[in-house]
Structure 1
Amino acid sequence: MSNLAESTPKPAPDAQLDLRGTPCPINFVRTKLAIEQMTPGSLLEVWLDPGEPIEQVPDSLVMEGYLIESVEDRSGYFALNVRRPIASA
């Protein structure tokens, strides 16, 4: 059995970025620029289209050293939560 009632609520993002309709790699570039302007430790929620955007952007962010906290299918688009690391490499 799972402890859904005792699970910790998902943290609210510090900012949102709607990139639905934005092609690759522009959506990755915009995500990276947005998160670099945020305070270390901040959480950014990015809205991405299905297909190439949700397949490519999370992998590219991980390769850049960002932490993907969750990917949520929201019927027609995906909400990606990415955290800026506290210590930059």
Structure 2
Amino acid sequence: MPDSTEATALDITNETCPMTFVRTRLALDALAKGHLLHVTLKGEEPLRNVTRSTQALGHTVLATENGPDNRHTLTIRKN
């Protein structure tokens, strides 16, 4: 399994649903199994939708960090 420090960042704060998940899925598809994706998004709806959809695809949301201005960062491990 890759070192957990190997991670890709994706900023989708300017996107709206459903594009938030589309961009996240495309980024996950480009990663090797075990790699991490840090997704920064804005708003409660994208947070719920991206988290739920990512988990439904079998990936693991390792952490959710809440930041200023209703921004959130999800750390996702590709399974």
> Under a length normalisation based on structure 1, what TM-score does the superposition of the two structures give?
0.78
Q: 2:57 aligns with which of 57, 61, 64?
A: 64
Structure-1 separation of matches of 2:23 and 2:9:
12
User: Among residues 29, 36, 58, which one is paired with 2:22 in the alignment?
Assistant: 29
Q: Counterparts of 2:73 and 2:37 in 1: how far apart (Å)?
A: 10
Give the letter aligned to residue 35 of structure 2.
Answer: S
2:72 is matched with 78
Deviations 1:59-86 (A, max 9, x none): 111011111000000112000001111x
Q: 1:82 to 1:62 in 2, by over 3 A?
A: same
CA distance in structure 2 between the partners assigned to 1:57 and 1:78 by the alignment: 11
Between Structure 1 and Structure 2, the one with more helix by share is 2
Q: How many residues align?
A: 75
Unaligned runs of 5+ in 1: 1-10
* Root-mean-square deviation over aligned CA pairs: 1.2
CA distance in structure 2 between the partners assigned to 1:61 and 1:20 by the alignment: 17
> Displaced runs of 4+ in structure 1, greater than 4 A?
none
Give the % identical residues. 31
TM-score with structure 2 setting the length: 0.88
